[in-house]
Amino acid sequence: MPLTTTIEMLRKAQEQGFAVGAFNVENMEMAQAIIGAAEELHAPVILQTTPSTVRYAGTDLYAANVAALAKKASVPVAMHLDHGDSFELCVQALRSGYTSVMIDGSKLPLEENIALTPYSALAGGRLSKHPGETSQRLEQDSYAKGKYDGAADQDAPILAQVAALAQARGVSMTEISLAWLLTKVTSPMVGMTKPSHVTGALRAVDLTLTPEECAALEAPYTPHALVGVMAQNTPSAARADHVWSIGTQRID
């Protein structure tokens, strides 16, 4: 079967209550052994490489090797870049066929580390949908609803501006949204569940917006109230009910 994404794999694992092993591979023999063991156990598996590994052989070679083995495998296989040390390496891995990447900014100063990977780059999918469009996630993601639905009227002009520019440029709203974000930060953190999501993110890297286009996208924005994890991770909010909370929560 073709390579799968880690989000598909881990979502199923979460629903059914099992863990998924992720194993570093250095060569073809290791990849064969890991997938063979996974098949014996009838278990999905993640094969991953580190920056030092891909410097030895390159992302293209590892991705092609694992993709060929996955095609013949009887269990789901994902290909992951672990602890990617630059935005450029993450893009290179995705272009090579990796279905999952991680960027590690732990060696950077704190402010640069935080800025490196902005969370919820597409606002839970809202910045990729035209007004009136919906998706399973928009309908069922209760946490995102709690964060974004309260500001829907405030955000409507922004979505309309993104949609208008996407139509004018002949690209998707995803590409416009991420291309704008890439003018502000190094590497947005984008969830992907389909190959088309990977394609849209990669196209955004090659899309350059003019200063006038960026200004037009930013013009409708007004500051929002703090929501989500940043608003909830405070002593005053520690005892409140949260969509994502499980078990006892204590913040000293």
* Max Cα–Cα distance, the chain, nearest Å: 57
Residue 85 bears catalytic tag: no
134: which strand partners? none
Of 55, 109, 106, which Cα lies nearest the Cα of 83?
106
Distance CA 23, CA 198 (A): 23
Supply φ then ψ for residue 224, to 5 degrees: -100, 155
What count of other Cβ atoms lies within 10 Å of the Cβ of residue 77?
Answer: 27
Residue 103's DSSP bridge partners are 84
Measured between alpha carbons, how far is 179 from 166 in angstroms, rounded to an integer?
11
Which of 82, 85, 141, 149 is catalytic? The answer is 82
* End-to-end alpha carbon distance in the chain: 48
Q: For residue 3, give every residue at least 6 positions away whose Cβ sits within 8 Å of its Cβ, in sequence order, or none.
A: 66, 67, 70, 77, 78, 79, 97, 99
- C-alpha 67/C-alpha 78 separation (Å) is 9
Return d(Cα 99, Cα 247) in angstroms, integer.
32
Query: Catalytic positions, please?
Result: 82
